[in-house]
Structure 1
Amino acid sequence: MKALILKYKSVIKFILTFLVVYIVLSFGYRWYLNASEDSSYYPDYVTHQVAKQSELLLNAIGYKAEVVKHPEELSMKLIIRGKYLARVVEGCNALSVIVLFISFIVAFSGRFKTTALFLIFGSLIIYIVNVLRIVVLSIGLYHYPERSEILHVVIFPALIYGFVFVLWMLWVNKFSNIGTTK
């Protein structure tokens, strides 16, 4: 057993580090959501901002968009040209995806400064890509409502997780300490 542990020390270290960071950040995220219940932002600050930024971008590219508080659930209604298209819920804010991203990067950490910068810029890029994803999804739903299931359930989650996977591969191949001795 000891030989196996020594042989797979780096794999065990990765898994344990990933799990610890993921659990800590997930609890932090849950705490944030619970603390947001008393906030003036609806349903929570980040989700509210994502909805408003999506509205701003849609208006900037010529779609008459509006985001309003949903009267019956914790979400924001996204409306284009008077047509209610989608709900922006807590799961649309990309924070759970960013938690997953950060957990992986920390588990494969490199030099501190490089890791910190990649975490900051990677998280920011994921956030921006997520807002763009909501905008493009909204336009797709506006023009092709019959394709809503495939757009929302398959294509757009694949894009955001695919993008995170590309960032992970960039990290592992260019910046992490894999294959180097510490």
Structure 2
Amino acid sequence: MKKYFILYKPFLFFLATFFLTYIVLTFLYQEYLNSFGENKLDAITRLVGRNTKQVLQLFDHSATVEDNKFEPYIKLFYNQKYMARIIEGCNAISVIILFVSFVVAFSGKLKPTLLFIFGGSLFIYVLNVLRIGFLCVLMFNFPNQKQFLHGVLFPLFIYGVVFILWLIWVNKFSKYASKTIKK
């Protein structure tokens, strides 16, 4: 058994670090959400709604968002038409937690790790806001494709970007990145 532990130590360390980071960040995020109480919308989701409205107003000045008074979501209107609701799950925090957990599990030096986490998280947030805005515009123009756009195309987009960020991290910045010798 000890032989296998030694043999697979890097992999086991990665798994332990990944899951520990994921569990801690998820717990902290859940505590943050609980601080708003039942049927109250959290500040991050509210910010995503405002930022999405700003993106949509680039296309149509009548884009608006409106709080739902009875449930925790924001109504999103485009061209005076109710297009979608923005709920807590739309704010990309769970995706950012997944991203951060992977980067920490493959951590490198402290400063590049923290900068990549900050930059990558900000990038994911901005792409998520753009994703919601474009999703709204596409659903307005192609209402019959709503299920495909929301359920397949845009999740594939956001998770694809996260995967590319992970590849960049592992290959360029992590302690496992290959170092090429310059001649």
CA shift, 1:70, in A, is: 1.9
After superposition, residues 56-135 of structure 1 pair within 5 angstroms as: 56-135=54-133
- Of 71-80 and 119-128, deviating more is 71-80
DSSP-derived class of the 1:77 partner: strand
CA shift, 1:18, in A, is: 0.3
DSSP-derived class of the 2:108 partner: coil
- Alignment of 1:29 with 2:29, yes or no, is yes
State the AA in 1 paired with 2:27: F
- Verify the 8 A CA contact 2:66 2:76 in the aligned structure 1: yes
Partner residue of 2:47?
49
**CA deviation map 1:84-115 (0-9, x unaligned):** 11000000000000000000000000000000
**CA deviation map 1:136-159 (0-9, x unaligned):** 000011111110000001000110
Runs of 4+ residues deviating >6 angstroms? none
Mapped partners of 2:120, 2:81: distance in 1? 34
Mapped partners of 2:27, 2:95: distance in 1? 14
Partner residue of 1:17?
17
The number of residue pairs the alignment matches comes to: 178
DSSP-derived class of the 1:36 partner: coil
Mapped partners of 2:61, 2:172: distance in 1? 40
Q: Against the structure 1 CA distance between its residues 179 and 84, is the aligned structure 2 distance closer, same or farther, given a 3 Å change threshold? A: closer
TM superposition score normalised by structure 2: 0.93
- Verify the 8 A CA contact 2:60 2:79 in the aligned structure 1: no
State the AA in 2 paired with 1:26: T
Q: Against the structure 1 CA distance between its residues 27 and 67, is the aligned structure 2 distance closer, same or farther, given a 3 Å change threshold? A: same
Mapped partners of 1:134, 1:70: distance in 2? 18
Partner residue of 2:181?
none
Percent identity between matched residues is 45
TM superposition score normalised by structure 1: 0.94
**Unaligned residue ranges in structure 2 (runs of 5+):** 179-183
RMSD (Å) for aligned C-alpha atoms: 1.6
Mapped partners of 1:30, 1:62: distance in 2? 35
Mapped partners of 1:147, 1:160: distance in 2? 18
